Amino acid sequence: YDENWTLPGRFRPYGTDRVVRVENADGRERGLGLDGEIAFAVGGREHTLQVAVEPDGSLWAVFADTTSGDSSFRFRFLRPGAPDTDGNVTVDLNRALLPPCAFADHFICPFPPPGNTLPIAVPVGERTVITG
């Protein structure tokens, strides 16, 4: 855990639902619903991730970063809580999760949509499966 990766963010809804086609871990393309984006700053530079809104109001993102496929799995999930009424949300990258397909091939997981690859290294959160 590194408190420097718990960041204030802002949810910006699109206003209309969007569906993008993304490849999934099984090699097939499927639609991924996106409802808006979260914006947050790392090192003074703003970054955004497109997110879906879950039924309970919490957010869900599929993202990659410069460690993906190297020192971390190909991509990870992030599940920020629900934004407040002003759109403020905590983006805690310490809570980045490995997708189920990191553990077993039979899970179908969407890859990050276009634009959800951060141009920075995210050295926190779940990163890889250790086997042995």
Measured between alpha carbons, how far is residue 39 from residues 46, 66, 87 in Å?
7, 18, 10
9, 89 contact by CB (below 8 A): yes
Could you read off the pLDDT tens digit of each residue along the chain, which spans 132 residues? 999 999 999 999 999 989 999 999 999 999 999 999 999 999 999 999 999 999 999 999 999 999 999 999 999 999 999 999 999 999 999 999 999 999 998 899 999 999 999 999 999 999 988 766
> What is the structure's pLDDT at 87?
98
* Partners of 10 in the β-ladder: 39, 88
> What is the structure's pLDDT at 5?
98
